[in-house]
Chains A and B, each alone.
Chain A
């Protein structure tokens, strides 16, 4: 077991130590969790809920969110006036549709399963293949998709403008703006979606110290999830996602997912790691809706994985689970869901004051590591004219990318051991991401030559 990989995120050392102790003590995850042998606080801290929406997000205004809710339920957004967002993302069904694949306009099933919409304020990308970068950009997709709402934003805006009640709602939501327009429509829908923060669960209470919140099986399931089963290699953080795209070896249906989106065969069959919250309410599962129950999901990981070259390197080579262990994993997943059908919070979430990352000062460096799905250092400064060398010292395939009008760059599939060299001729600030693991971010400040001379960078 590679502990440094499983124990991603915060509290890594403590978690690893605990897992190791558990493994040595009993070799049985269930037994290592009896009373008095609970995981250390740090292991849980890796899953602690944030205080509010990510720092930097625009604060949510009740009037905008209300407007967003109206629009989300408004069939006028569809071409023939029959479908709303809520037709597929049904609030009673945890904002999903409870079906493997929704039928499209032509009667044939849509290509992919309707995902739930919880906690998307934290999502780096949207859609199973990550093709939208913001909720606002995403909202246009279904409206104009000929198999979904088969409409156009322009027409929708005309219809809304003709409705005095709607015009009034827009005026309340956006007092500074004169007209109902496409930007306001997508902003309001985006704000409504950002407000969909999933309720506190028993797992959250356990994370914050309530020992009684989980039962024995659920705790054993947590130990398996973070240990032997290596689920946290991908399902990390409080949302249980690394925001990355992985091929987990589901049967090939011809959908190339992220690979098609990036035109990058190495990312074929890669789909976004879904959050694991509220899954009790969102069956069936996976991008193709092919797995009806959580039991079926565990069956897949423990024996149903198709081995092919694109299979994620974060997938364990084999996963042998006993019947009891499978049931414990399912029990643990259950504890990540509300006991009653989840509903949007009564009060709108606040925005967090600052993110820890934002405070670290950039360091002068020209070589960057990619170990453990992380650019290190994460904030660098270099001099104009210098180059950055990005070394894949990780076990995974990466894809380094800059999307900036001043400088666009994309590496090919950057396999373990490959280095990428990027020259920065002009001063400015640039963001680099890995488009297979979009949570990997590198912030590059390119300074005018003189100001960096004292650091003596390599030529």
Chain B
């Protein structure tokens, strides 16, 4: 326990050199891309919390060359007083791709619930992408000349309402058929894919923390949906990192090894898809574990 608290301190300090800066006050931004990728509800608390000790940082290592959407401009000057809130300040393509991970994370944990026969519990995870995330994705998809997938997401949610296994599988395949080209297109747009994927995974971990802390009230899991969201996000972030593991291992063997160890610790917070009777890790411990991961990956280029 004590050591973990120590980690949190360490991680938070380390953040200052590895993370994009954070400005807590939200202000709406004018460009289309910003409108497209406004702060998601889920990740905001994560950023706030993790950023508490942050100083105006050095330039983030992960800042991509160019917004994948091709929209010019992007954010205003870093650290400028007019900066948007924490989430809106993320580099637009990073924010977009993080949101794609959140969609996938929802589907991942929803699928786990369905495999456990818990259709009703799964439903919110299939509605959430439509209700919370898609509006921000739509204009970016259009800019990137990628196919929309709103109808596919809605159809998928219908199959879950109908508790229809065969239809569900077909509809999930249809959604994945739309998400896979997003990955391909992002890869094509990024010169340095591996660091970008890692940076996206980190953002996804941060979103997970926001959900996790919301799920606990009075030392207990009060909101199973948020617990599951946070699990889905972590599992998805892990998948994203696994997809670049080859390059990561080759270029940063030490970081990769550390990451695996820290991730194993972090994942103990979610022993199963249904919340345990009492939290295995409390919210600050989860934050600490995420900070350690950030620290491990801090120099990945």
Contacts and interface: CB of A to CB of B under 8 A. Distances in A.
A283 B158 contact: no
Interface residues of B, number: 17
Interface string A331-367: 0001001001100000000000000000000000000
B171 to A, nearest CB: 6
A130 B174 CA distance: 30
Interface stretch (A94-102, A243-251, A385-393, A446-454): A94-102
A65 to B, nearest CB: 22
A281 interface: yes
B158 A281 contact: yes
B166 interface: yes
Nearest to B155: A281
A90 interface: yes
Nearest to A103: B166
A333 to B, nearest CB: 11
A283 B174 contact: yes
B170 A90 contact: no
B164 A93 contact: yes
Contacts of A340: 154
Contacts of B174: 283, 292-293
Contacts of A280: 151, 155
A378 interface: no
A327 B181 CA distance: 15
Contact of B167 (A99, A327, A341): A99
A122 B78 CA distance: 62
A341 B154 contact: yes
B159 A98 contact: yes
A92 interface: yes
Interface string B156-168: 0011011010111
B177 interface: yes
B25 interface: no
Q: What does DSSP make chain B's interface, helix, strand, loop or mixed?
A: helix
Contacts of B154: 340-341
B53 interface: no
Nearest to B157: A341
A292 B173 contact: yes
B151 A337 contact: yes
B164 A90 contact: yes
A99 B158 contact: no
A341 B170 contact: no
A92 B158 CA distance: 6
Contacts of B168: 98
Given A90-B162, A92-B162, A293-B177, A98 B171 contact: yes
A98 B151 contact: no
A223 B159 CA distance: 33
A284 interface: yes
Contacts of A99: 164, 166-167, 170
Contacts of A98: 155, 158-159, 162, 164, 166-168, 170-171
A176 B272 CA distance: 60
A283 B164 contact: no
A104 to B, nearest CB: 13
A93 B170 contact: no
Nearest to B162: A92
Nearest to B150: A339
Interface string A257-285: 00000000000000000000000110110
Interface in A70-125: 90, 92-94, 97-100, 102
Contacts of A283: 155, 170-171, 174
Contacts of A97: 164, 166-167
Contacts of B171: 98, 283
Contacts of A100: 170
A93 B162 contact: yes
B158 A93 contact: yes
Nearest to A87: B164
Contacts of B159: 92-93, 98
A341 B155 CA distance: 8
Contacts of A94: 158
Contacts of B177: 293
Nearest to B170: A98
A35 to B, nearest CB: 20
A449 B164 CA distance: 63
Interface in A413-438: none
Interface in B122-181: 147, 151, 154-155, 158-159, 161-162, 164, 166-168, 170-171, 173-174, 177
Nearest to B165: A99
Interface string B230-247: 000000000000000000
Given A97-B164, A334-B151, A284 B158 contact: no
Interface in A215-240: none
Contacts of A293: 174, 177
B167 A93 contact: yes
A11 B187 CA distance: 50
Nearest to A280: B151
B253 to A, nearest CB: 42
A157 B166 CA distance: 31
A91 to B, nearest CB: 8
A433 to B, nearest CB: 36
Nearest to B171: A98
Interface of A: 90, 92-94, 97-100, 102, 280-281, 283-284, 292-293, 327, 334, 337, 340-341
Given A102-B166, A283-B170, A283-B171, 5 more contacts: A93-B162, A98-B164, A98-B166, A284-B170, A292-B170
8 contacts: A90-B162, A92-B162, A98-B155, A99-B166, A280-B155, A281-B155, A281-B158, A293-B174
Interface of B: 147, 151, 154-155, 158-159, 161-162, 164, 166-168, 170-171, 173-174, 177
Chain A to chain B: the 8 pairs with minimum beta-carbon distance, closest first: A98-B167, A99-B166, A92-B162, A90-B162, A92-B161, A280-B151, A92-B158, A93-B162
